[in-house]
Structure 1
Amino acid sequence: MFPPDVVAFLAGPVLLPRAPVRTAHGSGSDSDSQYGRSDYLYGVYPVLLALRAQKRKFKRLWVLRSSGGPSTLEKKDYKARLEILQRSEALGIPTVMDIPKKSILDHYSGGRPHQGLVLKCSLPFVQKLQELPVPGRGAIWLALEGITDPMNLGSLLRSAAFFGVEGVICEHGCAKYSAVAAKASAGAGEMVQLLRVSKLQSLLPRAKEQGWCVVGAALPDPEIDVDFSTLDEWLPQCDQLEGVLLLLGPEGPGLRRRLKQLCDRLVGISRVGDSGDGLDSLNAGVAAGVLLHGVRQALGPPRPAPAKV
């Protein structure tokens, strides 16, 4: 599968990984005190982008034995695998080639597709946010409330990275950025600035004072005094905004009322056809993709924030 010189350089004795003990956070725990608590990333792009970002401490890489070659892989996946091996060698990561059984790596991925790669690394560090930066023209940040599904979190992070979101804020209670979320994000979560807050309602007033336009993705609510627009109606009005802080809540209940009250505007996505079938909302990850695409098109590319005087 890999050029003989690369394999010969990196290959060593086949040391099979110990089975991790799963904790309440879904991360691996290791009895070896030199490693401490560990995460097990799996899949080509979560592993590759983690190595590129270098935000974690890397402990070991396992590669499944394969009889395939370049002709059996997409060209970009083959190049990505070569880059993983090259970066692993450059960073001095112990790399175990030719793991003989897929089931060994299946254990680490919970049976999810690992594409023959598992990277043992430190848990991700998610910094607590005290205050947003002053927005530069075209800046977009994303704030999440009640997103408890790691697959949804991964989808949101992938959309955020794709559309140039500068930061993603998770309120306490959202899903943790786990290996499952990393795989769902295709590794994009390693590249996005991910932060946490205890309560978004304490952050939003300060964000508005700094010049952010706080926009909640929500259906209209007759009991609160906040303007509502469909996305199509609002986008032509937002081209002069400095920056947008977009709030998303869970599918079904959506944003809680207190957060909607703190928004400058609520924005909804119009559906086609009759809503009598009960399908009145989108999956959070899909909704984020639609909203972020529209806002990015309206604001244009992000520009540097003004210098503080």
Structure 2
Amino acid sequence: MESTIKEIPKKKQISALNHIKQNKWLYILTIPGLLYFAIFKYAPMYGLIIAFKDYVPFLGIAESKWVGLENFQDFFTNPDFFRIFWNTLAIAFLNILFAFPAPILLALLLNEVRLKVYQRTIQTFVYVPHFLSWTIVVSLWHILFNLDHGAITEIVLSLTGKEIDFLTDPTWFRPMIILQSIWKEMGWGTIIYLAALAGVDQEQYEAAIMDGAGRFRRVWHITLPAIRSTIIIMLIMKVGSILSTGFDQFYLMTNQLNRPVADVFDTYVYMMGITNGAYSYSTAVGLFKSVIGIILVFSTNRLAKKFGESGLY
């Protein structure tokens, strides 16, 4: 009996080795991905130590003085903390409210297009902005919305008789950011939802049509429930990066007039770390943002499972 019990782990170990041998090329293909995460994601985490140190570049990470949570205390007591935290949360909330549903809505509309030629043509056009850099996108925005002969500014002036400075007025900063995000990423985000829609059983639509269900009813009772798990997973991933609003877009859109509402964690870390040389302080800010993101991922995933969804893991 004892010999039988001892042989069980050996069989498992042999089967695992056999599985690796049988699928060795698949495991070899994973090596570049593993190296990427090891080199660019996990190895740099060693630098997080400087968030708890008074980092001096000439001394290095190891020789710099430990200060514990002093950098975090400085950040939490800094008057900029609440302003930056509120700006980041406001943008994140608007993104979830408007930018997150946009690809879902577009995917539902494209799914209703019966002529494949039109569908593929529209898909191609809405995918293109994703491949443009934020520098090009912001440059286009400056051409369209600048105060001197901007196309949209001139149209607004002719319709309302008011000259609005969209690029420097703090009131318009957040709507401009959300519009840019929707225009640039909406088409690309539809890829996942269209793939999920491709797996919907067509017999359910046929049965619904026989029962007299209209197009809206079919979308509401068949299409949306079919892709609900995909929507939940994408929402969890979105919430995890809720404080990572992006650096390029905000940095390029920020100026001295809209800075009070434009400063977010990403631009603040750059300003304090690179511009002002406060490396330990900026690392503490970045670490705080990452920890909040992890907490939100776990919380949202647990909430999704509580409501009967599969969740992310």
TM over 0.5: no
* Structure with a larger share of its residues in strand: 1
| TM-score for both structures, normalised by structure 1 | 0.20
| TM-score for both structures, normalised by structure 2 | 0.20
Greater relative contact order (CA < 8 Å, ≥ 6 in sequence): 2
